[in-house]
Structure 1
Amino acid sequence: MTISMDQQQTLGLSPNTLKGVHHIALNVKDMATSRHFYGAVLGLHELTGDEVPETLVTLVAQGKVANFRLPDGTILDLFGEPDLDAPHADPKQQFTRANHMAFDIAPELFDQAVAMLHQQQVPIDHGPVSRPTGRGIYFYDPDGFLLEIRCDP
């Protein structure tokens, strides 16, 4: 069965439903080196104290996660993975260390987005999950990259 572009658009989220990127999460081998790079080298503001998301306070205190705010307000989360090796010794070789990318959505549209993912048979990693910071669902793009749609409470 072939689906026209018009039919595909009616099956998915309508344009401008996703509000933007909420956060980007990267796996890093050496947390201290990465914190220095993103904070001191790139000049990003590292979240501390009450700025740290409630769900990450313990991991930040353990040194397993660090959070930075990009100038546009997007949050960059670094997740320490000390056993992580680069897939290639030459850093110019293309590869990714990304953990997942999260898109914001209005809370009243979250369930509709979840239903659409299921309807489109998008592979779900886990969720929906509810946290004090909101709800989220994790799923894979066609290349296996982990994405999230999340909303505030």
Structure 2
Amino acid sequence: MQAVPPITGISEIVLSVNDLTEMRDFYVRVLGFRLHSQLSLESLVPDPDGVPTIAFLSISETQTPLGLAGHPQLFVLIDHRRHVHARKRFAGHDVSRSTLNHLAFEIPPESFGQHAKRLCDLGIEVSYASFPAMNAKAVFFKDPEGNVLELICHHPASIRS
């Protein structure tokens, strides 16, 4: 049996959305992601003046283990109704068959309290969880379209605070 070639990380996560502008603004405003680029692809030819159908948000730059070879970690939002490629391969969510439970983003242990307070200050409903077996704690919340998000920190002392 041949050895499996290495996978070095996740290059991007792509989320199909109904309201690209609202979702893009949420992830920039609430989580601090940066707009890397966006474009309008309602047909096979990009429209530089069109309303964006896809937005690439930078989660982390290339100095991290997952942002290798000059490519940042990207969180991509795609309007599945308007984007030419998404229309062909996305038939809509079927909750009974969906495999997405939530998206988790790693945060430094020392910023856990700041993140939790900021979410509350923004009026976002949160819940908390501790994971003693992983020496971790997390705050859960939802984006405007109902996707469950988790900010998690791993640290031996994090479950005690």
Into which bin does the TM-score normalised by the smaller protein fall? 0.3 to 0.5
**TM-score, length of structure 1 as denominator length:** 0.39
More helix by proportion, 1 or 2?
1
**TM-score, length of structure 2 as denominator length:** 0.38
Which gives a bigger RCO, structure 1 or 2 (Cα 8 Å, sep 6+)?
1
